[in-house]
Amino acid sequence: MKLLYITNQICGSGGLERVLAVKASYLAEKLGYDVHIITFNQGNHSLFYNFSNKLHYHDIKTHKFNPLSHINGLKRKVTEIKPNIISVCDDGVKGFFIPQILKTTCPMIYERHASKNIFKTKENPDYIRKIKFSILNMLMNYGASKYDSFVVLTNDNLKEWKLNNLKVIANPLSFYPKEKSSLENKRVIAVGSHTYQKGFDRLLKIWSKVILAYPDWILDIYGKIDSNKTYIKLADNLKLSNSVNFHQPVNDIETKYRAASIYLMSSRSEGFGMVLIEAMSNGVPCISFDCPRGPKDIITDGEDGFLVPDGNIDAFVERLELLIKDKDLRVDMGRKAILNAQKYLPEYIVPQWDNLFKSLLKI
């Protein structure tokens, strides 16, 4: 079966790229799919994650001020590949219009990796922004309805869409190491790009309170740093430079999880929360805001981690201090987190995609 993924680029260090590397490689190597990936303007950039050498790559060069270069390039390449099924992975807006662009009889799937809230860039948007989001929401719903299947990552994500083609398939784990965290190091970790959605401003406010009682603990933040160094400057202003370390993305992030004793998620929205299951697979208990839309489907509050009411800084501080001072609780939650993470192994998740593809092709 010839499967085509259409995505923006796969050279980055984000969750979408990591998931696609795991999923596409498994389909090609374990299930015998002929997997092709179309990207746009990726050029000769090297891949951050490990993709199977059995995959076929097609990069389309487009021009920013000529949308026809995007449309015509995509049409030509799809005609050349002749896929049996197409899956679009794009958290932007343009992906919603691909069925209208291609007008193919080939079954098409849209994989949604983010909450609709990803388009919100302020806590309290003004009237104009609300109008723009309302229009955007209508366009997304219309485009989503044109797909044969629209796949979201959690049951909570279903609430954002009123469609008849919805299906839930979680992200697969990219690793499940035999070695786990000892949970003895006085280190806390967070992973994500320096964007508004990841809420690192909230995280630093939390840390500024916790560090007063536990000055010997360290917070490590891994992720792409924005050009303005927004959160590095905020950490300096909060006098946190001695207890917070900022790191660029790393390939061996699993070793960084194992060096930590607690994982923190301060996001304002998530499509899933890949970092949560990665931390849990290393036996690291997680604390997360109960933001829309992923964490509540992953963390069992009070058992393998803590869910905190979204935006409640004081409640987050309380949970974090509890885990810092109670190693037995960390160990108990970490053990349960390891068991919970098993259900996200590729051998359980990717066959769900295989079943979806076959059902759409009626084979």
pLDDT at 173: 96
pLDDT at 172: 97
Find out if CATH 3.40.50.2000 is the number for domain 2-172+345-361: yes
Give the span between the Cα atoms of 1 and 213, in whole angstroms.
Answer: 58
Domain-by-domain residue ranges, the chain?
A: 2-172+345-361, 187-343
Q: Residue 167, class by beta-carbon neighbours within 10 Å (0-12 exposed, 13-18 middle, 19+ buried)?
A: middle
Q: Containing H/E element for 154? A: none
Contact call for residues 324 and 262 (beta carbons, < 8 A)? yes
Partner residues linked to 168 by β-bridges: 152
pLDDT at 132: 87
pLDDT digits (tens, 9 = 90+) for 13-66: 999 999 999 999 999 999 999 999 999 999 999 999 999 999 999 999 999 888
Both tokens assigned to 147: 């797909």
Residue whose tokens read 């295989």: 354
pLDDT at 151: 97
Give the span between the Cα atoms of 98 and 71, in whole angstroms.
Answer: 9
Q: Containing H/E element for 118? A: none
Give the span between the Cα atoms of 8 and 344, in whole angstroms.
Answer: 25
Note the helical H segments in 214-286.
230-237, 253-258, 274-281
pLDDT at 289: 98
pLDDT at 41: 96
Residue 21 CB partners (closer than 8 Å, separation 6+): 10, 47, 49, 50, 51, 174
327-341 vs 313-325: helix axis angle to the nearest 10? 100
Which CATH architecture group holds 187-343?
Answer: 3-Layer(aba) Sandwich (3.40)
Alpha-carbon torsion (152, 350, 7, 96), positive or negative = negative
Q: What is the pLDDT along the chain (363 residues), one digit of tens a residue?
A: 999 999 999 999 999 999 999 999 999 999 999 999 999 999 999 999 999 999 999 999 999 888 899 999 999 999 999 999 999 998 788 899 999 999 999 999 999 998 888 777 777 778 888 898 889 999 999 999 999 999 999 999 999 999 999 999 999 999 999 999 999 999 999 999 999 999 999 999 999 999 999 999 999 999 999 999 999 999 999 999 999 999 999 999 999 999 999 999 999 999 899 999 999 999 999 999 999 888 999 999 999 999 999 999 999 999 999 999 999 999 999 999 999 999 999 999 999 999 999 999 998
pLDDT at 124: 76
Q: Do domains 2-172+345-361 and 187-343 have the same CATH topology?
A: yes
Model's pTM, two decimal places? Answer: 0.92
Give the span between the Cα atoms of 325 and 318, in whole angstroms.
Answer: 11
pLDDT at 121: 73
Both tokens assigned to 103: 């007008």
Among the listed residues 183, 194, 207, 196, the one whose alpha carbon sits nearest the alpha carbon of residue 286: 183
105 backbone dihedrals φ, ψ, rounded to 5°: -85, -5
263 backbone dihedrals φ, ψ, rounded to 5°: -110, 140
pLDDT digits (tens, 9 = 90+) for 245-269: 999 999 999 999 999 999 999 999 9
What type of residue is 170? A
Alpha-carbon torsion (140, 142, 148, 151), positive or negative = positive
Alpha-carbon torsion (222, 226, 228, 234), positive or negative = negative
